Amino acid sequence: MEAIIDSADVLRLKHGDVPLPAFFPDATYGSVRCVDAADLVGCGVPGLVMNCYHLLTRPGLGVLRHFGGARRFSGWGGPLLTDSGGFQVFSMIRENPKFGEIRKSEIIFRRENGEKLNLSPEKCIQAQFACGSDIMMCLDYCSHPEDSYELSAESVDITIHWAERCKREYEKLLAAQNARGVAQNEHRAAHGAYRETQNEHRAEHGAHRATHGAHRAPSQNIQHGAQHGAPNGERPLLFAIIQGGGYRDLRKRCAEALVAIGFDGYGFGGWPLSSDMQLIEDILQYTADLMPDDAIKYAMGVGKPENIIKCEAMGYNLFDCVIPTRDARHHRLFVFTDTYGDGDVDGSKSEDKSRGDGRLLHSTYYILDKAYIRDSRPVSDSCDCHTCQNYSRAYLHHLAKSDDSLLYRLATIHNLRFYAELMERLRMRRRSADGAGHG
């Protein structure tokens, strides 16, 4: 597939440019908890991840189609990545087999109310087109690093088979979408030409009507139609997911098969953490090396800042996770500790001591700590977010103690801004490294 990343490491999408590396917060049901679209823009969020399975169940495809997609429905105007929902479904089935079964043709999922959902590769892609996604994910068979070799091999075989079907359905729906765009443009152009003829006819019957016809210049209609076309650079992207658990030969087989099919990006499939919650760095690095360098390398579900820093150094350039928003609701706020007044890195006031290197050093505040009762400083002296520009640690502590929902919004704004700044610092580190390499 054609190159999608320009020379400045920017991913060009229909609904906005995404500088890489980038972090997309999770908007699972169509919203990032506690904040709205204006807050997200203010935080510098470049894109969102919504979950196809959850949107299928609530509000449903009928509602999304009625509104013209998830973007218009939610009020978010920027880039949108939709996950297939396979990870969530497999997690539930793994936890309790009564929720369904995995077949070679599809996933049969049974909800607690008895309703059955059939999730096939084709239906998954159809749903993502209905959402109006900028980036679509293939349905995959998610495995765990500690799964047996046999189960991991089965997940690879099914993942490859489903990826082939996803690609075929994607190409079919994209061709149909492009054909509709061409037909609409031709209709608008024909309508404009008809109006031009009508205007010329009116001109023969008097200066007044000629003037009236000139006011309705057909070229405006033709140009308006062209704006609704589908240029090649504006098509939705399709990513595949590399499975294989903790087995290098399976990861290699899966990656080679998916690259042969051809996708715009590749995600690390399965759990990125071991049973003791440690990043499985060897498998992550090995899998990143299997991905083409001109494609997006997506570390799915990697969200702790220190883990993002490690994975970016491995070559990954797209991340998503619930950590910044979930931690905000649990009173944990991230700060950089390389600037004066931030972080209290001796550990007396921060839940975690500094992690990272240089300008990536960071720490975590637990805002309920009694040390903040009279602290007039913002969460971070160097942060430009709405929260730090307007509120003190003492006030956030008060909101937390009062269980006021405003705390969740303000804390979420700060954490999302921290992640946006983390991405910028990683980009600066990459540019510095590239400059040194050319020196």
Euclidean distance between CA atoms 319 and 50, whole angstroms: 13
Q: Please compute the mean of the pLDDT values over residues 196-209 and round it to a whole number.
A: 50
Decide if 83 is catalytic: yes
Tokens for 46, please give them: 């470049």
Task: For the beta carbon of residue 113, count every other beta carbon within 10 angstroms.
Answer: 5
The mean-pLDDT minimum among 21-35, 77-91, 400-414 falls in: 77-91
Q: What is the pLDDT of residue 373?
A: 97
Q: Which band of pLDDT confidence, cut at 50, 70 and 90, is reported for residue 360?
A: confident
pLDDT at residue 159 is higher than 80: yes
Give the amino acid at 167.
K
**How far is 27 from 82, CA to CA, in rounded Å?**
10
pTM of the model: 0.85
**Rounded Cα distance, 287 and 284, in Å:** 5
> What is the tens place of the pLDDT at every residue in 223-282?
222 223 344 458 999 999 999 999 999 999 999 999 999 999 999 999 898 888 899 999
What's CA 85's distance to the chain center, in Å? 13
pLDDT at 111: 77
Which of 33-42, 124-133, 333-342, 383-392 is the least confident region?
A: 333-342
Catalytic status, residue 381: no
pLDDT at 184 exceeding the cut of 90: no
Q: How far apart are CA 410 and CA 329, in angstroms?
A: 10
Among the options 39, 134, 320, 327, which is catalytic? 320
What is the per-residue pLDDT for 4? 84
**pLDDT bracket for residue 350 (50, 70, 90):** very low
The yes-or-no verdict on residue 80 having pLDDT over 90 is yes
Mean residue pLDDT across the chain:
85
Q: Does the pLDDT at position 186 exceed 60?
A: no
Q: How confident is the model over 363-404, as pLDDT tens digits? A: 999 999 999 999 999 999 999 999 999 999 999 999 999 999
Could you say which of 26, 39, 83, 134 is catalytic?
Answer: 83
Percent of the chain with pLDDT over 70: 82
Mean pLDDT is highest, among 57-61, 109-113, 358-362, for 57-61
